[in-house]
């Protein structure tokens, strides 16, 4: 479904991604582990067309995304839910959500249907639909960010650190929602620092260090690895 081959990205003389090859098959939930600055966000920005690769290729369903505009990548079925949520805090929850339905702008009935599904998944957002997004709790704001991404009805959802800054119980709720989204048929690539919790819901995982993939495997394999446990799980 999604394939990066040798993805290389520079910021000036700094190499943020150095030949990253990863793939996500249809229906999978794949986790990208990595410390701050490992390159997770850079990889996601490159996949969604917001940063240009210096070398390498990215394919979505066999289509080469080289040079594709971010809007065309969304239309092709890939939506990026960015780190830090990037909501419009003064706008209502509902208006924030509707921004994600831009791809269905010629089919308003479709947008209403999907909005109803998003409210079904996050009932608290229906209750707070007219409240400014910035007045919600951190976890609820993350639900708005995920909901806005779902409004585009993606085939592939890139989720960049959805649990950042949230309390442990809320992290669990957000990751359960991610699992439910995947179980309902959306392919997910999830960047997370909360390694233990993320590995509980993943089908497969990669570890990114200094712009390079240093390990790939099933969650059970990574959880048994002494180096991974020490670096990412603290046990």
Q: Which of residues 159-198 bind ligand ATP (CB under 6 A)?
A: 161
CB of 92 to ligand ATP, least distance (A): 28
- Judged by beta carbon, residue 93 or residue 191, the one nearer ligand ATP is 191
Residue 191 phi, psi dihedral angles, 5° rounding: -90, 130
CB of 116 to ligand ATP, least distance (A): 33
Total length of the chain:
235
34 binds ligand ATP (CB under 6 A): yes
Contact letters for ligand ATP, residues 60-99 (x by CB under 6 A)? -----------------------x----------------
13 binds ligand ATP (CB under 6 A): no
- Judged by beta carbon, residue 11 or residue 102, the one nearer ligand ATP is 11
With CB under 6 A as the contact rule, the residue among 42, 140, 182, 186 that binds ligand ATP is 42
Q: Containing H/E element for 139? A: helix 138-150
How far is 132 from 166, CA to CA, in rounded Å?
Answer: 20
CB of 41 to ligand ATP, least distance (A): 3
Residues with Cβ within 8 Å of 23's Cβ and at least 6 positions away in sequence, in order, are: 1, 2, 3, 4
How far is 99 from 47, CA to CA, in rounded Å?
Answer: 21
- The piece of 20-28, 35-43, 125-133, 150-158 that touches ligand ATP (CB under 6 A) is 35-43
Supply the angle between the helices 138-150 and 168-183 in degrees, to the nearest 10. Answer: 10
- 157: nearest Cα among 186, 185, 121, 183: 186
């Amino acid at each position: 479904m999604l394939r990066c081959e040798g993805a290389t990205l520079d910021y000036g003389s700094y190499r943020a991604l150095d030949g990253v090859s990863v793939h996500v098959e249809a229906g999978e939930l794949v986790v990208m582990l990595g410390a701050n600055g490992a390159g997770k966000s850079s990889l996601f920005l490159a996949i969604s067309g917001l940063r240009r690769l210096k070398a390498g290729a990215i394919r979505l369903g066999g289509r080469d995304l080289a040079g594709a505009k971010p809007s065309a990548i969304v239309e092709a079925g890939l939506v990026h839910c960015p780190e830090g949520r990037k909501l419009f805090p003064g706008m209502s929850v509902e208006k924030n959500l509707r921004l994600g339905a831009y791809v269905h702008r010629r089919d308003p009935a479709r947008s209403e249907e999907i909005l109803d599904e998003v409210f079904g998944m996050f009932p608290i957002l229906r209750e707070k639909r007219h409240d400014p997004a910035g007045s919600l709790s951190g976890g609820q704001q993350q639900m708005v960010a995920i909901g806005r991404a779902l409004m585009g009805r993606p085939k592939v959802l890139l989720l960049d650190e959805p649990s950042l800054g949230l309390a442990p119980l809320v992290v669990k709720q957000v990751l359960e929602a991610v699992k439910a989204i995947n179980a309902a048929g959306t392919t997910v690539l999830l960047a997370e620092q909360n390694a233990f919790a993320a590995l509980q819901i993943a089908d497969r995982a990669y570890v990114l260090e200094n712009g390079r993939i240093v390990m790939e495997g099933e969650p059970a394999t990574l959880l048994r690895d002494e180096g991974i446990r020490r670096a990412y799980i603290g046990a």
